[in-house]
Each structure stands twice: as C-alpha cells, then as structure tokens.
Amino acid sequence: MSRPDVDALLAAFRAELAAATTPEAVDEVRRLHAGKKSPLKEALRALRDVPEAERPSVAAAVNAAQQTVEAELDAARARLDAEVLAARLDAEWVDLSLPGVATPRGARHPVTRTERVCMDVMRQLGFELVDGPEVEDAFHNFDALNIPEHHPARDMQDTFWVDGGLLLRSHTTTVQARVLEARPPLPIKVVSMGRVYRNEAVDATHLAMFHQFEGIWVDRGLTFSHLKGTLAFVARALFGQDRKVRFKPKFYPYTEPSVGVDVSCGVCGGSGCEACHGAGWVTILGAGMIHPKVFAQFGYDPDEVSGIAFGLGTTRMMAQSTGVTRIRSLYEPDLRTLQRLDRGA
C-alpha cells in the first residue's frame, strides 16, 4: 500500500470546513472527517499494509492530522456558536433601563386591615384572639345567650337557616358562648372577629353579610366601671382623640345593664350627612355586663364572677375611618374602590 496523502486529506477537510457557515454544517464536516468512516480513520486502519519501516512516520503524520482536524473543528464550532449567540442577543435585546411591565401589588382588604388595627388595640389590654364556626346551631347563637325561642330579639337577628337545623351565625357572640362553655381558668380575656349574617334589607349602610369584632372579659370583681373604662380606651384608640364619644342605654338579651357607644361622624364631623343618616353620630359599640342567666347557663355562679362583653361592627368602622358612604361597595368586585382605599391607607 502507498503512503496516504495526509496533506491532500487536510486540504479537502479545510475546503469543506471553510464552506460550513452554521454549527450544523460544522457537525456534518466533523462526521465526514473525524468520524469512524473518515479518510483519516481509514488510513489508521490501513497501517498494517504499510511497510514496517515507514509505519511509524505514517502513523505520526495521520495522528497529527487528526489532532489538527479536531482543533480546527472545535475552533470553528466555537466561532459559529458565538456568532449565533451574538445574533440572538442582538435580536432579543431589551433596554433594561426602561420601566418594566410588573404585576400590580396586591393589598389586604380594608376590612381585614381594620380587624388588625382592632386586634392591636385589644392586645394592649391583654386580650387574645379565638375563632369559631360561621355555621352554628340555634343553641349557641340564641338559647345560650338568653334569647329563647319566640324571643323578640330573634326577629331583630333574623338569619339564614340551612339543612339540619343549623344557621349562619347572626353575631360573633357565638364564639363567646363557646369559650364560656369550655370553662377556661379565670381571668378570661378573649376577642373574636369575622363574618356574620342577617336576613335584612340591603341599603347604603346595611348588608345581609358584614363583619363584627367582639370581646369578653370575665373575672371576679368586675364592675360597670371596668366596662366603661375599657370602652373609652378602645373608642379613643381606634377613632382618635379628636372624636367625641358618648354612652347611651341599650338593650341586649345577653348583657344587663347594656350600653351603646357612639362617636361623632368622621365624614361630616357631627353636622349630619348620608353616612350617619343626618344624626351626626355613629354607633360603633354595643356592650354591657354579661347577663347572670348566661353565666348560669354554663355553670358559673353569677354571685362569684362577673364579666363585660362588647362588640363593634368592623365594616361600619372601616367605612367611617375612610369616608365610604356605601358599605356595599366594600364587598363588590370593583377593584377601583379597593385600589382607591389602598392608596389612601
């Protein structure tokens, strides 16, 4: 066998490599000139037919040519890959100094923010948060709270009944009933909050579903003075020192005596407007000393323990603090209202 013409093989390789203008074309040249069936591989397999005296020099020349082919292929592939990347970066270039298109920032619902404010105030007085079911039974919603069947107060809290004699709770006082039923050690200082439901006419300031925030404090020796002092602190902490506060007699079946707490309207400053129905005052709290019959219902001795209970409508409170005149807008799927309130928070 004659000695292989390594220079001719390299020349043919370089001619085809020069014509390769894409990474895929370079891969094809690699297959032809560095693959198992390439001329250089065939030359190595044919070394057995080369005279023994010439074999070392022929092998060295073929091996050197193979290394040259691999090096030039790698260099060509790297150059073309860099060109492809540069073209892609040029085509997909983005000016990072321009303002981006970002997803709008979310925010807590204004009623949720109000609940958190209320909770921050109550924690200052040592109250802790407890929770309870929204679907209740009549015992915890009415009977345990001194509202027996046919009591007029059931008409005032007409709610939504569901299968099995259950109902949607008409107030968060149901949680207080469950706390007293569990009989934790004294003193008991808990608050509850959440949705409540009333089957009533819907207008600008009333809905069939709204939010309440309630608390009880049970211990030995509590008096009406504790109640009034606590309510005054809560009202001023929530609504500010510039708002006038007044107490008035009220009736609640589960407290005796009972009071209501009003603050001067935050929208009109007390002159009268749609938000306060022209009265200049808005009732924010209902409260009283826990009724002895409620204590007796859960096995407490009314002569040994006493307690205060209070509740406020967080929906109305939020509307008053932000100037919302239509409470219904807080629950409608209109982001414009919520975004406006978020910007003003």
CATH number for the domain that contains residue 164: 3.30.930.10
Distance CA 112, CA 210 (A): 12
Domain span holding position 142: 110-343
- Is 105 part of any domain? no
For residue 309, what pLDDT is reported? Answer: 94
Q: Distance of CA 103 to CAs 20, 88, 106, 211, 228, Å?
A: 46, 27, 9, 30, 48
End position of a domain, from candidates 27, 57, 91: 91
Q: What average pLDDT does range 6-22 have in this prediction? A: 83
Query: Mean pLDDT over all residues of the chain?
Result: 83
Q: What average pLDDT does range 124-142 have in this prediction? A: 91
247/339 same-domain check: yes
Q: What are 22's two structure tokens?
A: 């894409």
Q: Which among 256, 250, 260, 258 has a CA at the least distance from the CA of 292? A: 256
180/234 same-domain check: yes
- Residues 197 and 209 sit within 8 Å (Cβ to Cβ): yes
Q: How large is the C-alpha radius of gyration of the chain?
A: 42
68/130 same-domain check: no
- Is 175 part of any domain? yes
Beta-sheet pairing, 281-290 with 255-264: antiparallel
- Is 101 part of any domain? no
Query: Domains in the chain: how many in total?
Result: 2
pLDDT band at 107 (very low <50, low <70, confident <90, very high): confident
Given a cut of 50, whether residue 1 has pLDDT beyond it is no
Higher pLDDT, 321 or 33: 33
Give the tens place of pLDDT for each residue, 66-100. 888 888 888 888 888 888 888 888 888 877 787 77
Which residues does 62 contact at the CB level (< 8 Å), separation at least 6? 4, 6, 40, 43, 44, 47
Highest average pLDDT, of 16-30, 66-80, 248-262, comes from 248-262
Distance CA 10, CA 61 (A): 11
Window from 109-113, 133-137, 307-311 with minimum mean pLDDT = 109-113
Give the tens place of pLDDT for each residue, 260-297. 988 887 667 667 776 666 778 878 889 999 999 999 99
End position of a domain, from candidates 91, 118, 140: 91
117/238 same-domain check: yes
- Is 72 part of any domain? yes
186/120 same-domain check: yes
- Is 103 part of any domain? no
Buried b (16+ CB within 10 A) or exposed e, 102-135: eeeeeeeebbebbbebbeebbeeeebeebebeee
64/199 same-domain check: no
Q: What average pLDDT does range 192-205 have in this prediction? A: 79
- Is 97 part of any domain? no
- Is 197 part of any domain? yes
Window from 145-154, 217-226, 302-311 with minimum mean pLDDT = 145-154
Q: What average pLDDT does range 308-319 have in this prediction? A: 84
127/45 same-domain check: no
| 56 C-beta neighbours (distance < 10 Å), count | 11
- Residue bearing tokens 């013409």: 5
Higher pLDDT, 47 or 145: 145
Given a cut of 60, whether residue 114 has pLDDT beyond it is yes
293/149 same-domain check: yes
Give the tens place of pLDDT for each residue, 40-74. 777 777 777 777 677 787 778 778 878 888 888 88
- Residues 195 and 115 sit within 8 Å (Cβ to Cβ): no
Give the tens place of pLDDT for each residue, 210-236. 888 999 999 999 999 999 888 888 888
Beta-sheet pairing, 209-219 with 188-197: antiparallel
Q: What average pLDDT does range 321-336 have in this prediction? A: 72
End position of a domain, from candidates 91, 121, 140: 91
- Residues 286 and 311 sit within 8 Å (Cβ to Cβ): yes
119/71 same-domain check: no
Say whether the peptide bond before residue 257 is cis (omega within 30 degrees of 0). yes
251/181 same-domain check: yes
- Is 216 part of any domain? yes
11/148 same-domain check: no
For residue 288, what pLDDT is reported? Answer: 93
Q: What average pLDDT does range 149-176 have in this prediction? A: 80
28/131 same-domain check: no
Q: What average pLDDT does range 101-125 have in this prediction? A: 85
Given a cut of 80, whether residue 164 has pLDDT beyond it is yes
